[in-house]
Amino acid sequence: MKKRKGLTLIEIVVSIALLGMIAVVFLTIINTGNKNIFKSGDRTKDVFEIQEKVDTQIKSYDDLKLEGVKVEEKDIEVKIYGIDAKTIKGKLITGIEDGIKITTFVPNKIEVK
């Protein structure tokens, strides 16, 4: 009997099929990763835009009304152990856009006498 060298057609077809399945898995992982990267980038851009609006509202500190920004008078109470609670008057500024919500508290300006 002669010793065979090389591969049979079935061995080649099976190896190509296995290689194809592995390639599909890796391409799916890479595609999903790319989608998530772009989605995160878009979200970061949206957060930056709404943060700019909130910052503009904070800097103006008057009745400037920007689209997507809500300003309301709010008092917060600060309690520190061993010290009497203090009430701080200020404004609660909330920016909402594309499902992203950023809220910050800005205390009223204190006049020093």
| Range in 17-31, 61-75, 83-97 with the lowest mean pLDDT | 61-75
Cα distance between residue 75 and residue 97, in whole Å: 25
pLDDT tens per residue, range 80-93: 888 888 888 888 88
Residue-range domain boundaries for the chain: 10-107
Cα distance between residue 91 and residue 103, in whole Å: 10
Cα distance between residue 99 and residue 50, in whole Å: 11
Model confidence band, residue 50 (pLDDT cutoffs 50, 70, 90): confident
The pLDDT of residue 111: 64
DSSP classification of residue 92: E
The pLDDT of residue 67: 76
Cα distance between residue 75 and residue 107, in whole Å: 9
